[in-house]
Amino acid sequence: MRSMGGEQVEEAVAGAVALLRTAVDRDWEGVRAGRLEWSCRYAAEHVAGDLIAYAGQLAGRATTAYVPFEITLDDGTGNEDLLHVVETTGALLAAAVRTTPREVRAFHPYPFRSANREGFAAMGVAEVLLHTHDIAEGLGLSYEPPAGLCADVLTRLFPHVRPGEDPWRTLLWATGRGELPGRAPVTEWRWRNNLVIPAGRLTLQGVTPAAATDLAAGGDGGFAWIEGGPFQGTRDAAAMALKAYEAGTHRPEWGVFVLVRREDGRAVGGMGFHGAPDDDGRVEVGYDLAEAARGNGYATEGLRALSAWALDREEVTSVFATTEPDNAASQAVLTRAGFGRVAVVPEDGAGAGQYAYELRR
C-alpha cells in the first residue's frame, strides 16, 4: 500500500513553494485568495500555522485539545521568507510523522476527535494543496498537483465522497472549490479521519478506502498482522467497503474495523458492519480472527465494544449477526457478548439455514 507519510508532506510542500516562488515579488496582502475571504498572504501564513500545529499534536501526544501555541512571523517578513517558513514547518511535520509510532493518536476535532500519523500527514497535504490552489487562483497562476497526492488525500480524509476520474477536480469539488458534472455544489464540508473504538485489550481501527483497497488486493492494509493474518473474511469485508466507496454509498463509521492489540500494535482480526442500519434500526455485524489469535477472547471483547458503540447511536435499535449451525466457537462469542439466538434464517433467504442472533438496546 502506498503510505501517507513524511514523503508526501515534503512532495506537496516542494511543489507549492516552487510555484509560489515565481510570484514572490507580487502583492500577496492586497489580493484575495480564490473564493476565500483571506488574502493570499494570510492563506500562506495559515498553511505554515497548520503544518506546525499538526507537528505539535503528534510530537506532544496531545489527546484532549490542541497544544496551546501558534506561529508568529517577525515584522518585515517578506514573501520569500514566508515560503521558507512553509518549507520549515513542512519539514517539521514530515519529521514528526516519521518518528511517531503508528498506534499513537492525537487530538483533532473532526469528526471523531483524533487522528494517527497518517491522518495528520493527509491533513497537512490537504492544507498545502488546497490553499496553494487558492493563492494561485488569486495571483493568476496555474496549479495542478500530482494526481497521486490528491487520491491519497481523498482515500484517507474523504471516505464518504465518491471518487472521480480526476482526483484533483474531485478534491476541489469536495471542498467547495469547483464543480463536477452530475454533482451538486458543495457548500459545507469536513474531512473525516477514521474512527477508533477502544475495546479492552484491543482497539477497533476503522479501515480507510486506501487500506481497504490494499487489503482487498492481498496486502496488509498498512497494519502489522500476527502470523496468518488477515483472514479471508477481512479481505472480503474490505472489498465490500471498497465497492461502497466507489459507488459513493460508503458510510465509514458503518464499515470495517481491524482489531489491533494494545500491547504490541499487532492486528489480530477484522470486525465490522455489513452496512448502515436499515429502516427498522437493525445493523448487521460480522467478524473473524487470524487462527493464531483465536481462543484468547479477542472476538468477544471487540464485539462487545462495537455493539455498544452501535447501540449508543439513535438510529440503531438492535445489532444482528448470523452464524453457521456447526460454528460453535462463533455462537459462543455471540452469547458471551450478550446476543441471544432469535431464529434460523429461512432456506429461501440470504444466509439460508444459518442461526440468527440479536442484541437489542
Domains of the chain (ranges, CATH numbers): 6-174 (1.20.120.450), 196-360 (3.40.630.30)
Q: Which residues of 168-192 are buried (b: 16+ CB within 10 A; e: fewer)?
A: bbbbbbbbebbebeeeeebeeeebb
Tell me what percent of the residues of the chain surpass a pLDDT of 90: 95
Q: What pLDDT sits at residue 349?
A: 56
pLDDT-derived band at 344 (thresholds 50, 70, 90) equals confident
pLDDT above 90 for 361: no
Q: What pLDDT sits at residue 353?
A: 81
Of 9-23, 53-67, 179-193, 335-349, least confident by mean pLDDT is 335-349
In whole angstroms, give the CA distance from residue 154 to residue 174.
9
pLDDT tens digit sequence for 214-223: 999 999 999 9
pLDDT tens digit sequence for 40-57: 999 999 999 999 999 999
CB-based contacts of 148, cutoff 8 Å, min separation 6: 2, 167
Tell me what percent of the residues of the chain surpass a pLDDT of 70: 98
pLDDT above 90 for 324: yes
pLDDT above 90 for 75: yes
Check if the beta carbon of residue 120 is closer than 8 Å to that of residue 193. Answer: no
Average pLDDT, the chain: 95
CB-based contacts of 259, cutoff 8 Å, min separation 6: 199, 202, 203, 204, 267, 268, 269, 270, 271, 289, 298, 299, 302
Q: 2 vs 176, which has greater pLDDT?
A: 176
Alpha-carbon separation of residue 42 from 69, 184, 192 (angstroms): 18, 29, 25
Q: 342 vs 1, which has greater pLDDT?
A: 342
CB-based contacts of 17, cutoff 8 Å, min separation 6: 83, 86, 87
**Sign of the CA dihedral 208, 216, 255, 245?**
positive
Q: Phi/psi at 322 (nearest 5 deg)?
A: -125, 155
pLDDT-derived band at 346 (thresholds 50, 70, 90) equals low
